[in-house]
Amino acid sequence: MKSIISSLCIFSIISFICMNNPREINPFKCDKLPKGCKLQETYSDWKVYYIETFVCDTLNKSFDVGNHTLTNCKKNQTSYTQIYFKLSTPEILDTSFQINNIHRFLHELNEIYYNDFFSEIKLKNLKGFDLDSDYSISLRNFSDNFEHIFNLFYSNFDFYYRNKRIDSCQQYLASNITRPRSLFQTTPRTISMEVRLTKSNFKRPVCPLFFQNTSIKQITIKYLTNTFYKTNVLKFSQFSNDVNMSFDSNIMMLWVTEMEKVRIDSTFLEKHVFRNLVRAHLSGEIIRFLLNFHNIQ
């Protein structure tokens, strides 16, 4: 592992410069929004309108990307558009989530008014991740420096196959899954991707095999605790060295903040999952550091 613990504070990736006198474009007539989606407006401290969010109650939404939508589904040209899947009931992130359609909608809608460089999708109340979703973000229309951000809130860090939760590497291997195909295998190395996990639920150890062929620029985790009252810590299980499969995980950066009495060892920074880690930032109350980074291959 080529890891370096950095004490540098992470700065916000996203910044917006808003006009003091935002100019209205067309009257808002976004009548082709999927059922169950609505517009939510966000204002800055100076009452400047700068973010437009389409909030949806389920995952199975498809957005129209015709000329009518692209010219009428924005109230102000200085605003940035994002989509927030605020699920009314927990759902597994599976093929019902039309990732290419959503990214195309956001990319084309924002590109009209900016030279946009990222696309952000927020998700709340996920039940877990399907291991056979076969997501693939199309390279078409995206520049090399374009970044895909998935911002997850209050979601379970569990993995499923055919609606059955997979709790161990033994279960995974017994399912005869050729290769994992979840959100974490969405992008090839030519596309930048960041996954942010805020107050996620880590209820059980995660099999490292779920992260085969992963290519992610950065994983950010906010809030981990290991106290007498509550335990919520990311841990990876072990798998047999006899498993005959290549392990190609390419996670470049790991940022973890708001840790409370967390033990840092090989079950946390698993050597296969983080084999290509080049930078890590860990902040909070770490009770014991049991890892020699230079000794991990």
Within a domain: 250: yes
| 254-283 per-position pLDDT tens digit | 999 999 999 888 899 998 999 999 999 999
pLDDT tier, 193 (very low <50, low <70, confident <90, very high otherwise): confident
Q: Over 60: is that where the pLDDT of 51 sits?
A: yes
Distances (CA, A) of 178 to 130, 132, 245: 14, 9, 10
Rounded CA-CA distance 219/270 in Å is 14
Residue type present at position 158: D
Q: Using a cut of 0.85, tell me whether the model's pTM lies above it.
A: no
Within a domain: 267: yes
Within a domain: 22: no
Instruction: Quote the number of domains for the chain.
Output: 1
Within a domain: 146: yes
Mean pLDDT of the chain: 80
Backbone angles phi, psi at 260, to 5 degrees: -130, 110
- Domain hosting residue 280, numbered range: 37-295
8 Å CB contact between 84 and 31? no
Q: Over 60: is that where the pLDDT of 22 sits?
A: no
**Contact residues for 249 (Cβ-Cβ < 8 A; gap 6+):** 211, 212, 213, 214, 272, 273, 274, 275, 276
Within a domain: 13: no
Within a domain: 25: no
Average pLDDT over residues 242-256: 81
Q: Over 60: is that where the pLDDT of 116 sits?
A: no
Average pLDDT over residues 90-113: 85
**What does the angle CA 92 – CA 97 – CA 103 come to, to the nearest 5 degrees?**
140
Within a domain: 1: no
Within a domain: 285: yes
